[in-house]
Amino acid sequence: MGGEKYPEVQGGGSLILAWQVRHRKVLVIGGGEVAAGRILNLLNADAKVSLISPRDGLNDEVAYRVARKQVEYHDKKFEPSDLDDPAITMVLTAIDEPEASSQIWKLCKEKRIAANIADVPPECDFYFGSVHRDGPLQIMVSTNGNGPKMANIVRRRIAADLPPNMGDAIAKVGALRKKLRVTAPRNEEGPKRMQWMSKVCVKWSLEDLCEMDEGDMEQLLEYYRPDKVPSLEQIRLGEEPDEWLFDGSFGWACVV
């Protein structure tokens, strides 16, 4: 009954989320190349990384992280009691011992700790995709465990088509959005704030957004109350904005 109007359900996917692990403890077991990539991802997300691995199993990058005290290091093999710490919110294993990895997975399930067992998709609560990073911009491509190399190829193709200054533009939009929340802090203004920011993102080019400075932001915010959006040129020339209607039917919404 009218079902053709709605998106068709496609099972077999994952719920892709931006998992906030800032200041949270994550346990990494293993110190090889895969662990190095996992550790870097966690440090980029401001997680508190605890690493368990014998010192002779550390690769050069992981040894560097340990030497710089970027991780809390335990020079030993994993023991079940290592999961007794209630502060652990996530476990990542990257060891070349299938039986030991499966045992860790089972222990995590008993303690209801989210876990990822490297290269064993059935024993993962979540997957690591291929990520493109440009300042505040992060784009993840996931193949749901079917082909990590393909995810990397797709991610590179997407990144190649992005403007080189996309990250800078998004950072400026984020700064403007924070200032707008100070200008219009009330919760009931939320819908208007979102719509006005959408107008800015559609009307201003990436180059304009990158060029925008603090003074431009302050002047632009003066047009929030009358719900107008002048161009960067109009702001700098002191001209009034053209009458321009926005109904949300085109363009992209800015929700950074």
pLDDT in tens, 98-111: 899 999 999 999 99
Token pair of 171 as six digits: 């950072």
d(CA 149, CA 117): 18
Token pair of 218 as six digits: 């302050």
| pLDDT bracket for residue 2 (50, 70, 90) | low
Axis crossing angle, helix 166-183 with helix 190-203, rounded to the nearest 10: 150
With tokens 């047009």, the residue in question is: 223
Assess whether pLDDT exceeds 90 at residue 119: no
Which residues are annotated as catalytic? 119
User: Virtual CA dihedral for 194, 199, 205, 206, nearest 10 degrees?
Assistant: 0
Assess whether pLDDT exceeds 80 at residue 250: no
Q: How many CB atoms lie within 10 A of CB 128?
A: 18
| pLDDT bracket for residue 164 (50, 70, 90) | confident
CA–centroid distance for 160 within its chain: 19
* Contact predicate 119/141, CB 8 Å: no
